[in-house]
């Protein structure tokens, strides 16, 4: 992997928004709250977008409050 790599572990903020396209592609979007090291700090929020097989897995298993790990890149 290159320098644009991010690893996040956090809780899903809402049910994934899953869309199917006529081309057969699938995309899922959801928000992820990542806690800061200090307990009194608010979490950092990220918008996560996954495509293809990962989107299908998110549709079946990711729910609000789920603890998930993400490895990807920033866009």
Instruction: Using the structure block, give the residue that is written with the tokens 């790990």.
Output: 69
Tell me the CATH number at 40: 2.40.50.140
Give domain status of residue 37, yes or no.
Answer: yes
What domain count does the chain have? Answer: 1
* Domain span including residue 10: 6-72
Does residue 29 register a pLDDT over 80?
yes
In a domain, 13, yes or no: yes
Tell me the two tokens of residue 27: 């995309």
Is the residue at 1 inside a domain?
no
Residue with the bigger pLDDT between 39 and 7: it is 7
Residue 75 — pLDDT band, cuts 50, 70, 90? confident
| Percentage of the chain lying above the pLDDT 90 cut | 87
Residues 44/33, Cβ–Cβ less than 8 Å: yes
Return the pLDDT at 1: 53
Query: Residue 70: is its pLDDT beyond 80?
Result: yes
How far apart CA 34 and CA 12 sit, in angstroms, is 9
Residues 59-73 have a mean pLDDT of: 96
Residue 2, pLDDT > 80, answer no
């Amino acid at each position: 992997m290159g320098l644009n790599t991010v690893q996040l572990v956090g809780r899903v903020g809402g049910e994934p928004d899953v869309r199917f396209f006529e081309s057969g592609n699938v995309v899922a979007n959801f928000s992820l709250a990542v806690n800061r090291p200090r307990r009194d700090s608010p979490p950092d929020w990220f918008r996560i977008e996954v495509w293809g097989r990962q989107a299908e897995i998110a549709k079946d298993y990711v729910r609000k409050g789920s603890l998930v790990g993400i490895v990807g890149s920033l866009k």
